[in-house]
């Protein structure tokens, strides 16, 4: 394991920022199904990094990183819908979409390293 604690993992730190920003972006949304789904997907990114890390096995870390990467893709997909349905401003969409892409790329690098 190359990190002392999961909080040291850059992908986890960025996923935390993404989750907080997703919660803020949709805090006033009345589309509760959509809001719940995108918030859950963002939280799952963080939680799967954490769960994989805490298992202390590189194979399990890798498995949970793949799951987190999938949740990251789900967030991007939902952000595209949010933009299409005008649930968010273009600038907010761009910021969150770019951050989720960045996190996904970090996952790819971590997975290759393991």
What is the DSSP code string of 58-112? HHHHHHHHHHHHHHHHHHHHHHHHHHHTT-S-HHHHHHHHHHHHHHHHHHHHHHH
Cβ atoms of residues 15 and 45 within 8 Å: yes
Does pLDDT of 1 surpass 80?
no
CA-CA distance, 51 to 54, in Å (whole number)? Answer: 5
Buried b (16+ CB within 10 A) or exposed e, 62-100: bbbbebbbbbbebbbebbeebbeeebbeeebbebbbebb
**Residues 28-78: pLDDT tens digits?**
999 999 999 999 999 999 999 999 999 988 899 999 999 999 999 999 999
Does pLDDT of 4 surpass 90?
no
Q: What percent of the chain has pLDDT over 70?
A: 98
For 6-113, CATH number?
Answer: 1.20.1440.60
């Amino acid at each position: 394991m190359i990190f002392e604690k999961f909080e040291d993992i850059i992908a986890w730190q960025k996923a935390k920022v993404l989750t907080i920003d997703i919660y803020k972006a949709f805090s006033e949304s009345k589309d509760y199904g959509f809001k719940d789904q995108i918030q859950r997907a963002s939280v799952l990114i963080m939680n799967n990094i954490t769960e994989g890390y805490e298992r202390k096995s590189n194979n399990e870390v890798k498995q949970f990183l793949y799951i987190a990467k999938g949740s990251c893709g789900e967030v991007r997909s939902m952000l595209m819908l949010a933009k299409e349905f005008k649930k968010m401003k273009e600038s907010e969409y761009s910021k969150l979409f770019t951050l989720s892409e960045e996190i996904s790329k970090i996952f790819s690098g971590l997975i290759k390293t393991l």
